[in-house]
């Protein structure tokens, strides 16, 4: 005996139809081989689409980017017929590349469900299958045992905040790193250290900010040990000033919007030990870094999983989640919501997790490490070729880790960095920027879809755009 739902999914007719669609997509997108300019015949229609999109949201699009719905690997086709290198992947949703057969198949199979959205009250099996896989992967090197699924990274963070506050009640303060980014809800903008994100908004959360690791300051102070001791003393000062008032320390182990900054492992560990000694939960925010470091989880990269009480993931995973240990498991009623996410989110999310877990991406010889090394090689060659574009500043000109790649021309000056990003876009590649001063060009390329032979072609486009920005 079987259910009708299962019989639909196992139907030979359905499987043949899905196979045919996947094959047709592969056949059509095989024509995409490299960047190309827009089709002049589509310009008027495209300009109208871009203008309408801007009008609907109340301001112009950051880039005049509207996808056609097709691409091939790291190349994406826009609705004007142009093709560009996608080096930012929608901050994660295109991590496996455009028109990836596994993603297309997962999307088609998800369409067989009788519901688009799953919820906490009524749900199919898809959310729990995704959550179980996520927990299995996370629990290999941490005490994390549960996952509450949400529709966005900000809501995952809101859920994590509530878990920590319930556990430590009546504690009401947050410890956080300077330059952190937490999301766009009112509370997350209160915690996030970005004035622009909370312009005109009230502050509804008390936060005590802690300096993020700074190797230059450490050198000026006489070494890492002295800098770490000073920073730990600052945190201890907050704890002494507000005894039993800190509900958690939220840590981006590698900062995303703050500038792709990678800290000293000992600094993170000493902070975590201090938190444990004072009963302060450690909340690891990996919404941007998950999957992109030299291990699947950033806490694995640093070997610090034993200290993590709460974890948030999103972006690359498509479905977002707040994860927590058995000890942090909240009482009934704290976490809920109408939607956990869409069927397609969970189907594609599972495909991403399977690919990352089994595709040889991690470790010193993994694909993320190798591609970062290739990015670094080409960046350093570009700097040597055009030293005037890369004046010294207080920081590294090439930085990041794994699939989080950072290049800093023009001394990190924001207007010049933004102009450079837009010039590179016009030249044929999509990237973005990050940092709070200095600013940097930011790349989150679809490493699973890249070959080493792609990098020289990518840097041809980057060089062309930088030349235009340099004048």
For the stretch 38-83, pLDDT in tens is 999 999 999 999 999 999 999 999 999 999 999 999 999 999 999 9
Report residue 89's pLDDT band, with 50, 70 and 90 as the boundaries.
very high
Residue 32 scores a pLDDT above 90: yes
Mean of the pLDDT values across residues 322-337? Answer: 97
Mean pLDDT of the chain, nearest integer:
97
Mean of the pLDDT values across residues 135-139? Answer: 98
Mean of the pLDDT values across residues 425-454? Answer: 97
How far apart CA 279 and CA 298 sit, in angstroms, is 23
Report residue 25's pLDDT band, with 50, 70 and 90 as the boundaries.
very high
Mean of the pLDDT values across residues 225-244? Answer: 97
How far apart CA 315 and CA 249 sit, in angstroms, is 22
Give 89-110 as a DSSP string. GGGGTTTT-BT-HHHHHHHHHH
Mean of the pLDDT values across residues 338-348? Answer: 96
Any bridge partners for residue 443, and if so which?
Answer: 405
- CB-based contact 82:441 (threshold 8 Å): no
Closest CA to 290 of 364, 362, 191: 362
Mean of the pLDDT values across residues 138-162? Answer: 97
Any bridge partners for residue 282, and if so which?
Answer: 249
First to last CA, the chain: 71
Mean of the pLDDT values across residues 399-408? Answer: 97
Give 395-459 as a DSSP string. S-SEEEETTEEEE--GGG-HHHHHHHHHHHHHHTEE-EEE-SSS-EEEE---GGG--TTHHHHHH
**Least confident interval from 194-198, 232-236, 340-344:** 194-198
Q: Kind of pairing, strands 173-177 and 144-150? A: unpaired
Residue 1 scores a pLDDT above 90: no
Global pTM exceeds 0.85: yes
Sign of CA dihedral 315, 318, 319, 324: negative
Any bridge partners for residue 208, and if so which?
Answer: 175
Neighbours of 97 (CB within 10 A): 23
Element (H, E) at 468: helix 454-470
Report residue 202's pLDDT band, with 50, 70 and 90 as the boundaries.
very high
- CB-based contact 35:84 (threshold 8 Å): yes
Q: What backbone torsions phi and psi does residue 162 show, to the nearest 5 degrees? A: -65, -40
pLDDT at 443 (0 to 100): 98
Closest CA to 401 of 295, 305, 312, 320: 295
How far apart CA 348 and CA 371 sit, in angstroms, is 24
Q: Kind of pairing, strands 282-285 and 246-251? A: parallel
Tokens of 19: 């196979």
Residue keyed to tokens 């890369």: 390
Which residues lie below 8 Å from residue 112, measured CB to CB, with a gap of 6+?
8, 9, 14
pLDDT at 225 (0 to 100): 95
How far apart CA 117 and CA 114 sit, in angstroms, is 9
SS3 338: coil
Ramachandran class of 84: left when φ > 0, alpha when ψ lies in -120 to 50, beta otherwise: beta
For the stretch 283-315, pLDDT in tens is 999 999 999 999 999 999 999 999 999 999 999
Q: What is the largest CA-CA distance in the chain?
A: 72
Tokens of 120: 């906490």
Structural domains of the chain in order of their starting residue, each with its CATH number: 83-105+363-470 (3.90.1150.10), 117-358 (3.40.640.10)
Mean of the pLDDT values across residues 192-203? Answer: 92
How far apart CA 423 and CA 420 sit, in angstroms, is 5
Q: What percent of the chain has pLDDT over 70?
A: 100
């Amino acid at each position: 005996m079987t259910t009708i739902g299962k019989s639909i999914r196992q139907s030979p007719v359905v499987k043949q139809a899905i196979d045919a669609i996947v094959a047709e997509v592969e056949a059509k997108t095989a024509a995409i081989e490299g960047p190309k300019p827009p089709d002049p015949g589509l310009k008027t229609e495209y300009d109208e689409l871009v203008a309408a999109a801007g009008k609907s949201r109340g301001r112009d699009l950051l880039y005049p980017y509207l996808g056609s719905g097709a691409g091939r690997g790291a190349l994406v086709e826009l609705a004007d017929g142009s093709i560009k290198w996608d080096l930012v992947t929608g901050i994660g949703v295109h991590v496996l590349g455009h028109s990836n057969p596994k993603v297309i198949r997962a999307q088609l199979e998800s369409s067989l469900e009788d519901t688009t959205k799953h919820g906490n009250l009524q749900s199919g099996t898809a959310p729990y299958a995704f959550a179980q896989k996520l927990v299995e992967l996370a629990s290999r090197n941490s005490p994390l045992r549960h996952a509450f699924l949400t529709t966005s990274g900000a809501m995952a963070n809101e859920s994590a905040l509530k878990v920590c506050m319930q556990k430590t009640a009546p504690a009401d303060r947050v410890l956080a790193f300077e330059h952190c980014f937490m999301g766009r809800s009112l509370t997350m903008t209160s915690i996030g250290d970005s004035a622009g994100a909370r312009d005109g908004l009230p502050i509804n959360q008390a936060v005590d900010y802690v300096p993020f690791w700074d190797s230059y300051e450490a050198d000026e102070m006489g070494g890492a040990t002295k800098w770490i001791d000073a920073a730990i003393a600052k945190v201890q000062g907050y704890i002494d000033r507000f005894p039993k008032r800190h509900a958690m320390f939220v840590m981006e182990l590698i900062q995303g919007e703050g500038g792709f900054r990678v800290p000293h492992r000992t600094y993170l560990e000493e902070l975590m030990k201090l938190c444990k000694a004072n009963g302060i939960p450690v909340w690891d925010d990996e919404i941007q870094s998950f999957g992109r470091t030299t291990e699947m989880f950033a806490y694995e990269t640093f070997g610090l999983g034993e200290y993590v009480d709460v974890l948030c993931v999103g972006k690359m995973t498509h479905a977002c989640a707040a994860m927590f240990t058995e000890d942090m498991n909240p009482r009934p009623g704290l976490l809920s919501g109408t939607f956990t996410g869409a069927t397609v989110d969970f189907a594609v999310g599972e495909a991403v997790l399977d690919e990352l877990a089994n595709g040889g991406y991690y470790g010193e010889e993994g694909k993320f490490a190798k591609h970062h090394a290739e990015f670094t090689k080409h960046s350093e060659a570009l700097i040597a070729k055009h030293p005037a574009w890369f004046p010294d500043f207080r920081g590294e000109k090439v930085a990041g880790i794994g699939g989080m790649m950072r290049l800093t021309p023009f001394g990190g000056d924001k207007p010049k960095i933004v102009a450079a990003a837009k010039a590179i876009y016009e030249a044929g590649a999509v990237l973005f920027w990050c940092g709070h001063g200095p600013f940097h060009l930011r790349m989150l390329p679809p490493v699973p879809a890249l070959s080493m032979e792609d990098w020289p072609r990518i840097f041809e486009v980057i060089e062309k755009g930088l030349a235009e920005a340099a004048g």
